[in-house]
Structure 1
Amino acid sequence: MNITTAVTNHNKIPLRSMLAYTLIFLMIGASVVLHNREMILPEVAALAVGGLIYRNPGWLSRPFHIFLLPSLTATGGFLINNAEFPLAAKLILAVAFVLLTLLLFKSTLAPALATGLLPVITNITSVYFIYAIATFTALLAASMYAKPGASGMHSVSKRRHQDNILYFGLISAWILICAQNGWMHMAAMPPVLVVGFESVHKEDYQFAVFYKQVLCLFIAAFTGVLSLYYLHNLLLSAVIDLIAVTFLLRLVKFKFPPAYAMALLPMVLPGASPKYFYWQVLVTAAVVLGGIYSYKNLRLNRQFKLVFARVNGRRKQG
């Protein structure tokens, strides 16, 4: 890389950051003007930071999916939420629908999980939610371009089907445990499930990454719920949240877009308690990500792989 190219790339970084933050504040500002919090989409913040600031190569290679997949999963989640099912069943169906959608499009765009779950956990009944998802993801997709030589989102784990089954089983079990014990407020926190999906497809999931994920989600939740509780102003709270999360991630030297989504999540959760929300996030993250870490690192993956191979062998013999 020559000096001219380096200077050009350095100058683009503030512009990309400005564009990402502008999109986030445009979204929150629209919700304030229209008096409709359903227009606040926490995962759009993660997509904006991951795509425009961190330049996720998988996302940049297929920017149309940034618009298409969240719009599809949001529509599916909206329809599932309006069905006459228990909440636990709705959440499990929403997760299954998103996983099938990602499989169909050969994608690993984890934030699509959040847009599929959000209408269920917040009980959204207005179609304006879908319009908002489509509008802001379209703006985000239009602001991206394919990075030369970037690997596409179709480049997935060799054990993708096995990992998806394990992930779905773990999340379903956690949702059912929460339903049985009356913990539905912590059954399916979208940023945690997004991180879990990304982590289960990692070839190498180290403890250093695991504890940073849990720590950053906990602190982001703490910042998000307290800023909203004490400031009573969505825009001002968003400013504090973005500054705090950016500082946190630089402090721990960790690129982690879901932390931005977690900080904004209390804005759309009317029941988010300033005393308990961040502890609920900590427990959910520890259980879900801890289960995935164990699967990836404590030889559970080998045992599951052996069982999976035996089942496939029996099917072929039959």
Structure 2
Amino acid sequence: MKSFFMFFVLFVMIAASEVLGEREVIFPEVAALCAGCFLAPRLVWRTNYLKMLASISICALFGLLIVLFAPFPLWIQFSLGFIIGQLVLFFSKTSFAPMISAIALPILIQTKSPVYLIAAFSLTLLVILLSLTLEKLKIKEKNAYEPVNYNPKEFFAAFAFRTIFVALISVIALRFGVKFCIAPPLLVAFTELCNKNSPAAKRFFAVILLVTLCALAGSLSRYFISITLGFPLTLAVLLAGAMVLGLVKLFSFPFPPAAAMSVLAMLIPEEAVVFYPLQVFAGISVLSLLTLILNSSVLK
């Protein structure tokens, strides 16, 4: 049933996007939420459902506001969004890093429509309601939230490190037209990897491989099912979802940002689909290497 719920949410999202003709309905981080809520025995983040909904909504709103009212170069807007996302994470006292993607995505693709905010709120709420259903049916362990009390010195040392390098990579990626090297789910992965206590930080190569393969799954599904054969995007998403599910079981590692990479492939311009996995591989490789430097020196 847990896997069925994931496919149901993905189907609702893409079907709504195609029926309404609104690409802003596609919220890639919903795949990460599904992975974190449905594919693990318990919620993978230290948070509660109310904070999940509030943080996604607040960050999505900030992302739109930056695009609409902060007339700066894209790399500055993007870096500003990353800064705000990290601060919301700190003050929320949770480990719910997907909120960072919620603020970064509308900036990267320059979304100005309130449809994005509505979609982010509605899809997150849907995932939460289904997760509560699983708990009610005792298919999934009930969530028990314990606040994360960040060490301010350590958090802001990592905060400064991440912000500086994301800004530098953003300048380079945007300058050379490879902006998906800084795809929003990669910022989430970067943030989670920088936590030495995170399971992901102990599986360095698995993270790189899983993130890249999920991006490849989304890219191949869209290219062959939607672009080449002309079938509805909904079929491409369901196929990508099936491949992601297989990868998660193969790796025994439900790393939520990886799942989001497969759905982001459905949102990018058609001409970017072929080289999307390569950009993602380059991005996650560089960010993973940076986390090794951070965890071994800055936070030592």
Q: Same fold (TM over 0.5)?
A: yes
Task: Give me the whole-angstrom Cα distance separating, in 2, the residues matched to 1:263 and 1:198.
Answer: 19
State the secondary structure of the residue aligned to 1:268.
coil
Match of 1:250 in 2: 249
Moved more, 250-259 or 240-249: 250-259
After superposition, give the CA deviation of every residue in 1:238-262 in whole Å (9 maximum; x if it has no partner). Answer: 1211111111222222222222210
Residues 251/79 of structure 1: CA separation in 2 closer, same or farther (3 Å cut)? same
Task: Give me the whole-angstrom Cα distance separating, in 2, the residues matched to 1:206 and 1:124.
Answer: 30
Task: Give me the whole-angstrom Cα distance separating, in 2, the residues matched to 1:38 and 1:55.
Answer: 31
Task: Give me the whole-angstrom Cα distance separating, in 2, the residues matched to 1:20 and 1:210.
Answer: 26
Query: What displacement does 1:204 show?
Result: 6.4
After superposition, give the CA deviation of every residue in 1:184-204 in whole Å (9 maximum; x if it has no partner). Answer: 523521111111111111336
State the secondary structure of the residue aligned to 2:188.
helix
Task: Give me the whole-angstrom Cα distance separating, in 1, the residues matched to 2:16 and 2:199.
Answer: 38
After superposition, give the CA deviation of every residue in 1:152-185 in whole Å (9 maximum; x if it has no partner). Answer: 3525567323222222222122223334x42452
Q: Which sections of structure 1, spanning at least 5 residues, go unmatched?
A: 1-14, 303-318
| Aligned with 2:80 (options 74, 90, 93) | 93
Task: Give me the whole-angstrom Cα distance separating, in 2, the residues matched to 1:273 and 1:209.
Answer: 29
Question: How high is the TM-score relative to the length of structure 1?
Answer: 0.82
Match of 1:264 in 2: 263
Given that residues 157 and 201 in structure 1 are in contact (C-alpha distance below 8 angstroms), is that contact kept between their aligned partners in structure 2?
Answer: no
Match of 1:224 in 2: 218
Residues 201/153 of structure 1: CA separation in 2 closer, same or farther (3 Å cut)? farther
RMSD: 2.3
Q: Which sections of structure 2, spanning at least 5 residues, go unmatched?
A: 136-140, 227-231
Aligned length: 286
| Relative contact order, higher structure (CA 8 A, sep 6+) | 2
State the secondary structure of the residue aligned to 2:119.
helix
After superposition, give the CA deviation of every residue in 1:266-306 in whole Å (9 maximum; x if it has no partner). Answer: 11111552331111111111111110122213x3433xxxx
Task: Give me the whole-angstrom Cα distance separating, in 2, the residues matched to 1:207 and 1:156.
Answer: 17
In the alignment, is residue 131 of structure 1 matched against residue 115 of structure 2?
no
Query: What displacement does 1:23 show?
Result: 1.5
Identical residues among aligned pairs (%)? 26
Match of 2:283 in 1: 284
Query: What displacement does 1:119 show?
Result: 0.6
Map 1:304-315 to 2 at 5 A.
none
State the secondary structure of the residue aligned to 1:144.
helix
Match of 2:104 in 1: 117
Match of 1:30 in 2: 16
Larger radius of gyration: 1
| Aligned with 1:175 (options 170, 173, 195) | 170
Given that residues 205 and 296 in structure 1 are in contact (C-alpha distance below 8 angstroms), is that contact kept between their aligned partners in structure 2?
Answer: no
Given that residues 36 and 43 in structure 2 are in contact (C-alpha distance below 8 angstroms), is that contact kept between their aligned partners in structure 1?
Answer: no
Task: Give me the whole-angstrom Cα distance separating, in 2, the residues matched to 1:204 and 1:117.
Answer: 22
Query: What displacement does 1:236 show?
Result: 1.0
Given that residues 70 and 115 in structure 1 are in contact (C-alpha distance below 8 angstroms), is that contact kept between their aligned partners in structure 2?
Answer: yes
In the alignment, is residue 40 of structure 1 matched against residue 26 of structure 2?
yes
Match of 1:70 in 2: 56
Match of 1:3 in 2: none
Match of 2:95 in 1: 108
Query: What displacement does 1:61 show?
Result: 4.8
Given that residues 194 and 258 in structure 1 are in contact (C-alpha distance below 8 angstroms), is that contact kept between their aligned partners in structure 2?
Answer: yes
Task: Give me the whole-angstrom Cα distance separating, in 1, the residues matched to 2:90 and 2:271.
Answer: 32
Given that residues 62 and 153 in structure 1 are in contact (C-alpha distance below 8 angstroms), is that contact kept between their aligned partners in structure 2?
Answer: no
